[in-house]
Amino acid sequence: MARHERLSTLLDLLAKREKLDVEEVAAELNVSAATIRRDLDHLAEQQLLTRTHGGAVANDLAYDLPLRYKTARHAPEKQRISAAAAALVSNGMVIGLNGGTTTAGVARALAMRADLADAPGLTIVTNALNIAHELAVRPNMKIVVTGGVARPQSFELSGPLATLVLSQLSLDLLFLGVDALHPAAGAFACHEGEADINRLMVNNAARVVAVADSSKLGRRAFARICDITDVHEVVTDSDADPDVTAALKAAGIPVQIA
């Protein structure tokens, strides 16, 4: 197991158990206790947990993981979702991408489509610094960054400057990354500032496609982005709960399984 995968696993375990024992976790992950101690020390330095004698306990920040620790979670599913989402795009569109590992995957999938290399190309509007950085070298893509204050956990820009820019723009298609998607309650983010910006992107988009792996479905998070009726389609993976997908379809929302 690579270190970034191990760190992500430790944070997942901590979120479920609220405390970890070094010896127990070392046995579970088949690594040395010294390795786990170093990993926990590293996560404690970034204020993602609190070290204790012989282990660690959760703190509030442990439930909103930095993007770099989310990338290994459900990676194959996110790749399939990203490819399926990117196939919905036609040349010349204005595409919105908020922050997140799945929307970053959509950005990469769009960059790989050779048929989008011809004029007029795409216009990409994003509030995610990592997505803008990755696509900026693509000559066939016009990249518009919202401005705003960067949040280290997600690389997303938010605040009045982002609101000012987005209020002047119109999107053909928004790929909406979410922290949770509930068939009755709607789409959610963990951070209220990001939810505000995402909501504005939803309001300014002609079509909204939520891209969410199955672990996000049927759940709620802290800050609501929009009503479920504001979402026009959901792209998810084959592990999605059939009851949840049925509820989405009953609400008139097509669900594409990637």
Distance CA 100, CA 176 (A): 9
- For residue 206, pLDDT beyond 80: yes
DSSP letter, residue 175: E
pLDDT tens per residue, range 39-56: 999 888 877 788 999 999
Distance between CA atoms of 136 and 140, rounded to whole angstroms?
10
Strands (DSSP E) along the chain, which ranges?
Answer: 19-21, 49-52, 55-58, 94-97, 122-126, 141-145, 149-151, 156-158, 173-177, 180-182, 186-189, 208-211, 223-226, 233-236, 255-257
For residue 75, the Cα-to-chain-centroid distance in whole angstroms is 12
* Beta-bridge partners for 128: 156
Domain locations in the chain as residue ranges: 3-70, 74-257
Residues 6 or more apart whose CB falls under 8 angstroms from that of 92 comprise: 120, 121, 122
pLDDT tens profile 213-230: 998 999 998 899 999 999
CATH value of 3-70 in 3.40.50.800, 1.10.150.530, 1.10.10.10, 3.40.50.300: 1.10.10.10
pLDDT tens digit string along 118-138? 778 899 999 999 999 989 988
pLDDT at 164: 96
Pick the CATH number of 74-257 from 3.40.190.290, 3.20.20.70, 3.40.50.1360, 3.65.10.10: 3.40.50.1360
pLDDT bin (cut points 50, 70, 90) of residue 71 is low
Return the pLDDT at 201: 98
